[in-house]
Structure formats: structure tokens, C-alpha cells
Amino acid sequence: MSETRLETRGLSRHFGALVAVTGIDFKLAAGARHALIGPNGAGKTTFINLLTGVLPASRGSVLLGGKDITAKAQAERVKLGIARTFQINRLFRGLSVLENVYIPVAERMGAAPSMFYPAGKRTDVIDEAMHLLEVLRLADVARHRVSELAYGRQRLVELAIAIGLRPGVLLLDEPAAGVPSAESHIILDAIERLPEDIAVLIIEHDMDVVFRFAKRVTVMVSGAIFAEGTPKEIEANPEVRAVYLGQAGARARDHA
């Protein structure tokens, strides 16, 4: 097993009396392809929010490359290499696709605070943004306003904004959510073509996606880790099947 990129120790978050996430000990290896599954309300998105610093932890710690980053704000964690996508698109809707990607790349390259030369002067930023759009097969719509794209391609832009940050750890919150199944392969193809050294944690409900993509699966139930293992182990685990996989697993087999 390779080195641990991201780790949590006893990570908890309470909202008043409501325990959203409790005592999570979790490890994400470098270059991991790791899926986080669990029923609705299991605390998966809260967990992501704790990892990215959107929410402060009530207890426990988050470590990146062995260093404690629990106290660091969201923007600092991004600089350290944690990027995420959102379950519901958060795009710069009025801007072009290229501008949507220019923004994170400029931010990462340190161009964004510059006031006294035109954005177009930074051809290094534009080059990288265009390159990213080519890789994600978005170059043909680079000039379009992002709100004009079909939803599936908007999901790709959602992904592009995160990849433009060149993260070491990428957290994908249901990347194919809301995408018609006929289009969902373009998202999955893009995810499968991500650079190998990125540690990817994906929240996903679609078990076909999970078993196709993930090398390792963690199951969350009621704010705690319920089981963890390879996809085969998880699928074979009778307790997991009982609480979660039951219907979805049956459905998957019906399709097969």
C-alpha cells in the first residue's frame, strides 16, 4: 500500500444536538481511486465539507501529507492541493467556458491579484486552460457561455475548474448527478483519464460507476464508517447489502 495522502483522525461534526459525522478515521492513499458510498443523510457531503474546510470540525483532525491542517481555512487548503467539485453545479454561469477555467488556473499561478495588465496577456494561463479544455473535449465550446451548455457538459466544466487547480487530492461529490445516462459516460471517461498521481475520492450513488472506477470503497451510515474494503469485499459484505446495497445491487444484477 502506498503512502497516505489525506488522513482524518476521530473527525466529528455536530450541528447542535444533531451528530452529522462522528469519529471518522479515514485514509486516502496517494493515487487512490476511492469511493465513498452510503444512504442519503449518511454524512458524506458533511465529511467532504470537513475535509475542504467549508465546515470547521467539532472534534478530531485532518492531516494532509502527515501535516495537521485542521485549523486551516478553505482557501489555504486549496493552495495545499485539496480541490473538490460540487453535487450541484457551482459554475461562473455568466462567463464563457474558457473564462470559467481561466479563473482557477490564474488563481493557482498567482496571476489573479494582478491589476495593471490585461487578463489576455497571461498566455501561460490561457494555454493551460485551453489544454485542459482539449483534454476534457470542451475546446469546441470554449467560447460559449457556460449556462448555454447541455447539463452533461456543464458537469465537465465543474470538473475542469477543480482540475485546473492541479490538486493532489480531488474530491468528487456525485460527479454524474443529474446527467442523463446517455451522457454520463463522458463524465466517467474524463474521470478515468485523470492523472494517476491524483488521489481521488468520489461520492457516488450509482453502483455501476463505483464498481467500474473505485479500487477501494468506504461505506458510511449514520455519520460513521460502517465498512471499508475492495469493491468485491464490499459487495460481498452481507451487512452492507442489508443497509445499503440491497436494492441497488439487486438492480445492477437485473441489468446484467
Partner 1 sequence: MSASASSADSASFAARINHPAARALIERHRLRWWEALPWIAAIGGYFVFPGYLGFGTELLVAILFALSLDLALGYAGIITLGHAAFFGAGAYTVGILADHGFWSEPITGLMLAALVAAIVGFLSGLVLLRTRGLTLLMLTICTMALLEQAANMAHDYTGGFDGLPNLPIKPIFGVFKFNPLYNDTQYLYALAVLLVCFVFMRTLVYSPFGQSLTGIRENLLRMHAVGSPVRRRLIICYTLSAAVAGIAGGLWAQVNAYVNLSSLDLDRAATVLIVLILGGYGRLYGAFVGAVAYLALEHFLARIYPTAWQLGLGVLLVFIAMFARNGILGLGESLWRRYGGRRKPSATS
Binding site residues, partner 1, CB under 8 A = 52, 54, 74-76, 78-79, 83-84, 86, 90-99, 102-104, 106-108, 111-123, 125-127, 130-131, 134, 139, 142-143, 161, 164-165
Tally Cβ neighbours within 10 Å of residue 112: 15
| DSSP sequence for 157-171 | HHHHHHHTT--SEEE
Whole-Å CA distances, 55 to 5, 91, 100, 225: 20, 21, 25, 19
Given a contact cutoff of 8 angstroms between Cβ atoms, the answer to whether 31 and 159 are in contact is: no
Distance CA 124, CA 142 (A): 16
Helix/strand/coil for 67: strand
- CB of residue 151 to partner 1, shortest distance in Å: 17
Shortest distance, CB of residue 6 to partner 1, whole angstroms? 17
Complex with partner 1: residue 112 or 194, whichever CB lies closer: 112
| Closer residue to partner 1 (CB): 19 or 119 | 119
Spatial CB neighbours of 16, under 8 Å, sequence gap ≥ 6: none
Supply the minimum distance, in Å, between the C-beta of residue 229 and partner 1.
30
Could you give the CA distance from residue 155 to residue 129 in angstroms, rounded to a whole number? 16
Q: What's the rounded Cα separation, in Å, for the pair 207 and 18?
A: 29
* Distance of closest approach, residue 251 Cβ to partner 1, in angstroms: 33
Nearer to partner 1 among residue 93 and residue 185 (C-beta): 93
Please say which residue, 99 or 183, places its beta carbon nearer to partner 1.
Answer: 99
For the bound state, the minimum distance from the C-beta of residue 44 to partner 1, rounded and expressed in Å, comes to 17
CA distance 4 to 2: 7
Count CB-CB contacts under 10 A for residue 15: 11
Q: Tell me the closest approach of the beta carbon of residue 99 to partner 1, in angstroms.
A: 7
Backbone angles phi, psi at 15, to 5 degrees: -110, 95
| Nearest to partner 1 of 21, 98 (CB atom) | 98
Shorter beta-carbon distance to partner 1: residue 98 or 191: 98
CB of 114: closest distance to partner 1 in angstroms? Answer: 5
- By beta-carbon proximity to partner 1, the closer residue of 35 and 106 is 106
